[in-house]
Amino acid sequence: MSTPENFSSGRLQIALGLQDVVVDESKICFIDGVAPKLLYYGYNIHDLAENCSYEEIVYLLLNGKLPNKAELAKISTDLVAARGLPAEVFETIKHAPKSSIPMDVLRTCVSQLALSDPKPNDDTPEGRYRKSIRLTALFPEIVAADYRNRRGEAPNKPNPKLGHASNFLFLLHGKEPGPSAAKTMDVALVLHAEHSFNASTFTARVIAATLSDMYSAVTGAIGALKGPLHGGANEGVIKTLVEIGDVSKVEPWLNEKFKEKGFRLMGFGHRVYKTLDPRAVVLKKYSEKSGKEHGVTKWFDMSVKIEAMMKTREKPLYPNVDFYSASTYYTMGLPPEIFTPIFAVSRVAGWCAHVMEQQSHNRLIRPDCAYIGVMDAPFIPLDKR
């Protein structure tokens, strides 16, 4: 029982933030935060990032194995076939208040997708798989339609000749991306697709564990991803870089900021990684490449300087996935407000994989808390209060 006595006596212990609490088994993702190492279904993230398309990763996450050529062709066709946003979702985007932020629009539209699904609550394995493909296919369209609507531009129709990453850039800009931009986006999508029991994925699993549906689980996950301590950090990173403004100002700016109590530098620190996030290693390369290609290297240079300074602090902190993705996207001409939605465009596949895994051996997720409130308060009738 969660009485104060049971906690003060040590019979029960609070795991604030669920740190080090192991709630289930999973075959999907392995993280060694010290080595460091990140595996999707056993495969090293470095091999996957350099050699696989996002479609291969979607197949891997949803099926537990890398696809052969025929399987890859099939899932690619399925993803293309599932494209095409329902008219009412475009309407929602069109009528969203100008003050709304893209993550709120995405969350609302994803919830709305359930209404145009003839079988939103089909929880057979086939039903869950179909919904995973549909959600994965439609995320880029929602994000891109909202992006264009904010600029007073009509949405672009998906291009069936283009793969997932290229089509996403096509939807955003209305022209086919060059090979370098397409590769950079593909790599970013591969890197963000999955990360074990992180906050948004755990949210999805909690919802799935009530035997609710995939749309509900993914909608909840978007809400969790939005926060600045999770996926929202990438937006915070670019705001920081813009505020600093120049590589020469990094040192005084950081020194000043760290005098502020409770200051958090976005894109640094991690619950699991106690050293450099392996995804940041890959993105650092792409940030440099993108900066050089677009003739704007200052965001990368500033980032490198910040990384070096943070490493030498008394308590060193290392970049996470959000740090170098920010400068990569920014030099590609993408605005900060869609950085977190891009994260969601990728992570949806991981969320769906976890919903399927959770429901394959389900048990309700229901932790306890240490009650510190009043006990057995004498009831006072309304007219006496």
Other C-beta atoms within 10 Å of 238: how many? 23
Tell me: does residue 215 bind ligand COA (CB under 6 A): no
In one-letter notation, the amino acid at residue 117 is: D
* Listed residue (227, 29, 213) closest to 135, CA to CA: 213
| Per-residue tokens: 256 | 């000043």
Distance CA 120, CA 355 (A): 14
- What distances in angstroms separate CA 271 from CA 6, 18, 90, 122, 146, one per listed residue? 28, 10, 38, 35, 32
319 binds ligand COA (CB under 6 A): no
Catalytic, 192? Answer: no
Candidates 262-270, 292-300, 336-344, 350-358: pick the segment binding ligand COA (CB under 6 A).
Answer: 262-270
The conformation of residue 42, written as its DSSP 8-state character, comes to T
Residue 270 known to be catalytic: yes
Nearest to 327 by CA among 315, 339, 313, 342: 339
Cis, bond preceding 67 (omega within 30 deg of 0): no
309 lies in the site for ligand COA, by CB under 6 A: no
Number of residues engaging ligand COA in binding (CB under 6 A): 16
Question: To the nearest whole angstrom, how small is the minimum distance from the Cβ of residue 273 to ligand COA?
Answer: 8
38 bridge partner residues? 31
Cβ distance to ligand COA smaller for residue 128 or 279: 279
Shortest Å, Cβ 232 to ligand COA: 8
Please report, as residue ranges, which positions from 100 to 119 form the binding site for ligand COA (by CB under 6 A): none
Specify the stretch interacting with ligand COA by CB under 6 A; choose among 44-52, 167-175, 263-271, 368-376. 263-271
For the segment 11-30, give every residue that binds ligand COA (CB under 6 A).
Answer: 17
Q: Is the Cβ–Cβ distance between 266 and 310 less than 8 Å?
A: no
Q: Which of 140, 177, 267, 341 binds ligand COA (CB under 6 A)?
A: 267
Catalytic residue among 213, 270, 277, 354: 270
Stretch that binds ligand COA, among 30-38, 77-85, 319-327, 351-359 (CB under 6 A): 319-327
Question: Which two tokens mark 187?
Answer: 């790599």
CB of 61 to ligand COA, least distance (A): 19
Burial class (CB within 10 angstroms; exposed 0-12, middle 13-18, buried 19+) of 257? middle
Q: Is 220 in the site for ligand COA (CB under 6 A)?
A: no
Catalytic choice (322, 354, 376, 383): 322
Catalytic residue numbers, as ranges = 270, 322
Binding site for ligand COA (CB under 6 A): 17, 229-230, 233, 264-271, 317, 320-322
